[in-house]
Amino acid sequence: CGSTSNTDAGGLFMWMSLIGHSLRQEIMKWNGWGYVDSKFQFNKKGQAEFTGKRYRLSGMVMPALKEWFESTFGASLQHKTPASAIPNSSAVQPPILNEAFVEDLKSTGIPFSQDAEDRVFRAHGHCLHEIFALREGKVGRVPDMVVWPSNHNDVVKIVELACKHNVCLIPYGGGTSVSSALECPPEETRTIVSVDTSQMNRILWIDEKNLTAHVEAGIVGQELERLLNESGYCTGHEPDSMEFSSLGGWVATRASGMKKNIYGNIEDLVVHIRMVTPQGVIEKSCQGPRMSTGPDIHHFILGSEGTLGVVTEVTMKIRPMPEYQKYGSVVFPNFEQGVACLRELTLITNVFAGHALKPQKFYITKFKGFDPNRLCVATLLFEGDRERVLQHEKQVYDIAAKFGGLAAGEDNGQRGYMLTFVIAYLRDLGMDYYVIGESFETSVPWDRVLDICRNVKERIIRECKERGVQFPPLSTCRVTQTYDAGACVYFYFAFNYRGLSDPVHVYEQVEHAARDEILANGGSLSHHHGVGKLRKEWMRETVSRVGMGMLKSVKDYVDPGNIFGNRNLL
């Protein structure tokens, strides 16, 4: 039984082991999400379709999407905002080159490039303002060079040279950041070198006795899963971005996956981390499953967001692939009931991966007796041996029934999972028609979930109105992760920007206000997206002045010359 969730959802089968360093650029968009061949578009009949062959949705026509799109945003297919073409090299600032560094680098034989396209591709993540600027052909400060280390030792050499010649390094994994973490600080006058870890993508060994695998940190999620599957194992770490994001990136941002209830978050999954810093290599001396040796040094690395060094190798826990997998879904009369049920389920069992989401009307079918404007669907995934899966499934549905939930079938569940992968593509469609949007997340205690959802959504609507947004925005949310003490909540926010002279600025002001509202309602600054530069201003109040001092002193010791100068976090 070799089927896993991502065979259905991801574009795994098309992913080839990357030999040439520029191959990734060829199959991926430079100014939008995902693969070049996969996107939503309106065909000649005005019907929405999803192109390509990679996803289950590929090639499908979705007649309801147009109506949803037009009625939700007041958008019209007549009003297009096409993206501009890829900027030619003259539009990109010529690189600032530290010749001595380049000379020394050449002598190591590590491949590097000063090509404009390579540099632009690695100058951004996927924040709205970053993509919007690219679509308008605007390019700011970009890395001056890109290097492709192929193993740990290459990274050691690069970091040594960077220290010697005082150049700035910015680690680059999958490029899926949504915290402005990859943006080059405009004030940086040194040479900025993007350290692209994509060539460090091998599983170095699998230890079946201890159920661990030692993996190079540049490996991308779906590739890691595929290679482990070949040996009958999996990690169970499946963030929404797993098609593109890298192991090193997960470690550097404290990532979380949708199956974390079964397998744990990244901090639970790592056994050993190796990171190259300007002071040298940091790692533990053994692979003991837990240690009492003072503060866990892994926690200086986890969430360091590229400010301390490059994560090169990670030992991860692995598990035999589940014998049996079953999707499921429950429809609740309203969001309140759905949340209450998830809370109950979390207390009783942690055998499912689930999330309650407010439906996007274009894919949810109608349910009898439920108000379509209020109903909410939880999608579920059960894994394990067949008998226990079925037993858990029954248990879950019994509990759900107490909260007015009805089992809504495997199909809806599977579609829910699929949607998490294609949802990012939807934004690009919107951007073709004056609609911009973004999602952002937080974590919050259970007793605050409903309050925070209501208040943040309302705040978004109100802020949009005050800033002259002509049409009511889409402002919705879902619960994506559950813990004993709380949940992770995602907010989705998008609006039609016709009539606004500076839509991105408006967007940023609204998001800023929404974040203030989140914090005022007891939500965290971030559950797993990280801080980057986007949310830096709230760090002090988030971790206290002393906490900031602690983090700063670590940075000062590890990287006194600010070689890892992306200026994230602090």
Residues at the interface with another protein (CB under 8 A): 447-448, 451-452, 454-455, 458-459, 519-522, 541
The CB-of-520 to another protein minimum distance in angstroms stands at 4
Would the annotation count 308 as a binding residue? yes
Nearer to another protein, 387 or 458 (CB): 458
Would the annotation count 174 as a binding residue? yes
Would the annotation count 309 as a binding residue? yes
Taking residue 570's Cβ as centre, other Cβ atoms within 10 Å add up to: 15
Would the annotation count 171 as a binding residue? yes
Burial 345-379 (b: 16+ CB within 10 A, else e): bbeeeebbbbbbbbbbebbbeebeebeeeebbbbb
The CB-of-436 to another protein minimum distance in angstroms stands at 24
Judge contact between 568 and 305, C-beta under 8 A: yes
What is the C-alpha separation between 437 and 427, in angstroms, rounded?
7
The CB-of-521 to another protein minimum distance in angstroms stands at 4
Would the annotation count 254 as a binding residue? yes
Who contacts 156 (Cβ-Cβ below 8 Å, separation ≥6)?
276, 281
Would the annotation count 175 as a binding residue? yes
Nearer to another protein, 240 or 511 (CB): 511
Nearer to another protein, 241 or 521 (CB): 521
What is the C-alpha separation between 109 and 277, in angstroms, rounded?
21
Among candidates 377, 340, 354, which has minimal Cα distance to 476?
A: 377
Burial of 325 (0-12, 13-18, 19+ CB in 10 A): middle
Would the annotation count 307 as a binding residue? yes
State the catalytic residue, choosing from 55, 490, 497, 507.
Answer: 490
Would the annotation count 255 as a binding residue? yes
What is the C-alpha separation between 278 and 158, in angstroms, rounded?
10
Judge contact between 383 and 322, C-beta under 8 A: yes
Burial 274-296 (b: 16+ CB within 10 A, else e): bbbbbeeebbbeeeeeeeeeeee
> Max alpha carbon distance in the chain (Å)?
72
The CB-of-452 to another protein minimum distance in angstroms stands at 7
The CB-of-445 to another protein minimum distance in angstroms stands at 8
Judge contact between 512 and 525, C-beta under 8 A: no
Nearer to another protein, 388 or 454 (CB): 454
Nearer to another protein, 230 or 541 (CB): 541
Q: Which residues lie across from 409 on neighbouring strands?
A: none
Would the annotation count 467 as a binding residue? no
The pairing of strands 168-172 and 192-196 is parallel
User: Angle 409-431/63-73 helices, nearest 10 degrees?
Assistant: 60
Q: Is 490 a catalytic residue?
A: yes
The amino acid sitting at 559 is D
DSSP output for 364-388: PPP-TTS-TTT-EEEEEEEEESHHH
The CB-of-406 to another protein minimum distance in angstroms stands at 21
For 162-219, where are the E strands, in sequence order?
Answer: 168-172, 192-196, 203-207, 212-216
Would the annotation count 56 as a binding residue? no
Structure tokens at 348: 């009783």
Nearer to another protein, 103 or 447 (CB): 447
Nearer to another protein, 161 or 452 (CB): 452
Taking residue 468's Cβ as centre, other Cβ atoms within 10 Å add up to: 11
What is the C-alpha separation between 173 and 95, in angstroms, rounded?
21
Nearer to another protein, 21 or 459 (CB): 459
The CB-of-371 to another protein minimum distance in angstroms stands at 13
Residue in this structure with the two tokens 């589940």, named with its chain if needed: 322
Q: H or E segment at 458?
A: helix 449-466
The CB-of-484 to another protein minimum distance in angstroms stands at 15
**Residues annotated in a binding site for FAD:** 171-177, 253-256, 305-311
**Residues annotated in a binding site:** 171-177, 253-256, 305-311, 427
> Mind telling me the catalytic residues?
490
**Residues annotated in a binding site for substrate:** 427
